[in-house]
Amino acid sequence: MEDPPLPSSSPSSSTKARGSNDSNTSIGGLNLLNDDLVQNILSRLHAPSFASAACVTKSWNLICNRILFRPKLSTSLSLNPLLHDAVNEVVNKVLSEPIRPHFAIVNVGSGFELSKTLQLIRGRLGFNIPVIVSVANGIIGSDAVTDEFKEVKWGVLFSGFSGDGYTRNINEGIVLTVGYLPGLKVEAIPLVRPSKTSQARCIDDFVMDINEYSASVSMRPFPDAVILIGEASSDMKPVMEKLDYAMPKDTVIVGDERSCFIYRSGNDSRNACGRRGNIEAVALVFAEDRDRVSGKIKFHVALSNGVSAVGAKYKTASVRTSSTDSSTWLTARREGQLEHLDGQTILHDIHELLENHIESPDLYIGVVKHRKFSIGVGKPMPRTCIAYHGVVGGDEEYLYVDGIGIKTGDNFQFYRSDPNSASASLAKVHDSLKNIKLEGNSKTNGDNIVDVFGGLIFACYGRGESFFGHVNVDSSPFLENFPGVPLAGTFCGGEMVRPCTTFLSESQEGSPISCCLHVYSTVYLVMSYTPL
């Protein structure tokens, strides 16, 4: 049974017309109860009934506002292979308690149609909130039916047959995250690239759109946090580099580098269509409400690395790029040597260092880039960052790597996927999240303890049970520190985060190095609340 879209949370004019004096309005026998008993009853309602109750009288509206005084995150996962049923399961679960949706994040398997999913979700949650629906390589969350916490990674195709005799794609499932964040404004803002327009200009416009929205709703011209979803064929490195340059250090950015998505903004004017150009990314922007009367919501980030350095350091000697497959061909010199080395020679040395490893790890090069950045006509400023590029192969001429943006003279080092490094890093994440909990328990405001109310995870598809040999490893730092607190996430194709502290926190010269896009990592976004 489906509920109708959630109604407004304020008393309607028709209700006021029937009786402006609450004491003269008979609502069953509830008008005889005191406010504490009414609050106890209303707090047990499902969200649709709760929203309707908030529209009945002014006194009930005030009680409902009191119930939802604090922020709330509600999440649910379903592996039901039927889209309509799966959506009903997760929506019914997140709406089983009082909540007023301010945004929704929906992650689905490739077996579910994005546009149909969006239509079903908006039909249940309403049409005036931002919603992002994206395809994931796996989903993380609590099952809507069993409440069992699961990390689910999908393969490509089901190896057998379904009951009707047809091969079936097993990438069918959904995790839904709905947030109520009083004191923040939330909106979805797209990165649109019209034809014949440079990417650099579009990224500048995107950054300015985010800041202009923040300035329009907040006392500051920057957002508190951004969840960024990139389109699979787009290069998100320059996007993250520009955002990292343009935003203050306390603006948190997390997300999935490569996905397929559809979105709708709360404001229809921001819903870009294909005629305007390609939509290369969408940002869910969280900006402090200038009219905030509740407490302070804070976003925390943590990062678990899953790679370790291998071999000597190199400097690129020559660089060619291929626009057809967005790859780079390069030769290099070992640090302190003059000889130009081809790809075959370089990889031979690396493979010799890895010959004792039972499984062949994935290889990357981490390139340190010294660049100048600016927004619009602003003065370019120097900045150092590191970018990972997947190693494709090598021959007697070149080393081939994914992506572009590498220049002659850039320094780089090889990195391999490493479960031992990931496990050690997870222990540090556990301690970092524990510190948030301890800090919250040590600070009080009146009788209210600072608390964590939700979290999101963006984990590399290469991790999970096949990487660690155990289930739910990536989720464990959060689950152990915050039992019972809603948590959801995805296995994605590239993990984005800033600010963060990595094992490459400083360059040889001692200046900070920024690293916003990671490989074989897991990014944690933790949300906490401090009452006024």
Q: How confident is the model at residue 164 (pLDDT cuts 50, 70, 90)?
A: very low
DSSP states of 328-390: EEEEEEETT----B-HHHHHHHHHHHTTT-SSPPPEEEEEEEEEEE-STTSPPEEEEEEEEEE
Q: Quick one: pLDDT at residue 36?
A: 83
Q: Quick one: pLDDT at residue 358?
A: 55
| Phi, psi of 291, deg, nearest 5 | -100, 20
Contact 246, 205 (CB under 8 A): no
Give this prediction's pTM.
Answer: 0.88
What's the CA gap between 98 and 125, in Å, rounded? 13
What's the CA gap between 93 and 76, in Å, rounded? 6
DSSP states of 281-319: EEEEEEEE-TT--S-EEEEEEEEE--EEEEEEEEEEEEE
Residue 38's nearest CA partner among 21, 8, 70, 62 is 62
Q: Is the pLDDT of residue 223 over 80?
A: yes
Site of tokens 């990165």: 191
Q: Is the pLDDT of residue 119 over 60?
A: yes
Q: Is the pLDDT of residue 449 over 90?
A: no
What the block records as the tokens of 202 is 């579009």
Ramachandran category for residue 440: left, alpha or beta (phi over 0 → left; psi -120 to 50 → alpha): alpha
All structural domains of the chain, each given as residue ranges with its CATH number in brackets, are: 35-68 (no CATH), 72-157+169-302+421-530 (no CATH), 307-417 (2.40.30)
What the block records as the tokens of 5 is 């879209």
Average pLDDT over residues 418-447: 82
Convert the pLDDT of each residue in 173-204 to its tens digit.
Answer: 999 999 999 999 999 999 999 888 888 899 99
Q: Name residue 441's amino acid.
A: N
Q: Quick one: pLDDT at residue 442?
A: 60
Convert the pLDDT of each residue in 503-532 to its tens digit.
Answer: 443 334 445 688 999 999 999 999 999 987
Q: Is the pLDDT of residue 488 over 90?
A: yes
The string over 297-317, giving b where at least 16 C-beta atoms fall within 10 Å of a residue's C-beta and e elsewhere, is: bbbbbbbbbbbbebbebbbbe
Q: Quick one: pLDDT at residue 445?
A: 45
Convert the pLDDT of each residue in 319-378 to its tens digit.
Answer: 999 878 889 999 999 999 999 999 999 999 999 998 766 567 899 999 999 988 888 777
Convert the pLDDT of each residue in 246-270 to its tens digit.
Answer: 999 999 999 999 999 999 999 888 8
Strand, coil or helix: what is 394? strand
* Mean of all residue pLDDT scores within the chain: 87
Q: Quick one: pLDDT at residue 268?
A: 84
Q: How confident is the model at residue 1 (pLDDT cuts 50, 70, 90)?
A: low
Q: How confident is the model at residue 381 (pLDDT cuts 50, 70, 90)?
A: confident
More confident residue, 17 or 329: 329
Q: Is the pLDDT of residue 393 over 90?
A: yes
Convert the pLDDT of each residue in 50-76 to its tens digit.
Answer: 888 888 889 888 888 888 889 999 999
